[in-house]
Structure 1
Amino acid sequence: MFRGHSYRNLDAKGRLMLPPEFRETVFEHSPEGKLMLTNFDGAVAGYPMPEWQRIEESFERINILNAKVRNLQRFIISGAVEITLDKQGRILIPPHLRNYAKLEKDVVLAGVIQKFEIWDMTRFEERRRLTEENFDDDMASLADEGFELRL
């Protein structure tokens, strides 16, 4: 499970050091340190292999006669690349994903339960600000979906 966020820097080659707790989660699901990266929601999403397999299986079960489904499938699946953590715990983010997410140097890794996201720091902070401004409405939408939060 991925949770929390961490501020990091991409090196000149597009490599990113994962925080220790994210590396542990990757190795729990894939002892060889493999994961899938893809474009999603303005960021790069990183999935442990078992979670990625569920995504592909979900796409296999849906109706491809729907053009919106085909477009999303094409976008998510064709953007995907399998990567392996190196010995230093870094991942190499391919140029097409760095371009899509507008990643340059300062990035944020955000844990989002079954995956983590890699955001350009400025875009991440802007998204958080907008979420904060719309918090009450967004929480009402979550409640409509069956989400319960007891504080």
Structure 2
Amino acid sequence: MFATLTAPGFGPVHNQPDTGRCHCGHTHPDDDPLLGTPLDPERYDYAGAVLWNAHAPALWARFTTHLRREVAKTASLTQRALRHHATLSYAKVAEYQKRGQVHFHAVIRLDGHRPHQHPTRLGHRQAPRPRRSRCRHTHPLRA
């Protein structure tokens, strides 16, 4: 599965929406230094933005912990028992958006607990629905 986890909004910023016009009324070129800067600096939550970036590694760790819990729960297994049926692995990249906030791109795999083995006892159940998620797109990778 491919997932992108993004920061919440801390206030409107200058951007390049699909409509072409920013909320400020202008169309910003790619190299415009205003891109990512707050539309209203007086009301932008700078403290929240800084705290998000400072805590991003811990938030990622918490995400992976909860992901393992949800996979085990969906399979009607304990987390300890899940280790005997499947291995959850991932590769991630953290990068800054133009607005200065860290976001993560991740490839997540669920394999059997031994090399070249499919997960056992997990069946063909649907993946758990995200809770309180701002995730826009997740889709399985094609082989």
TM-score (ref. length: structure 1):
0.26
Higher strand share: 1
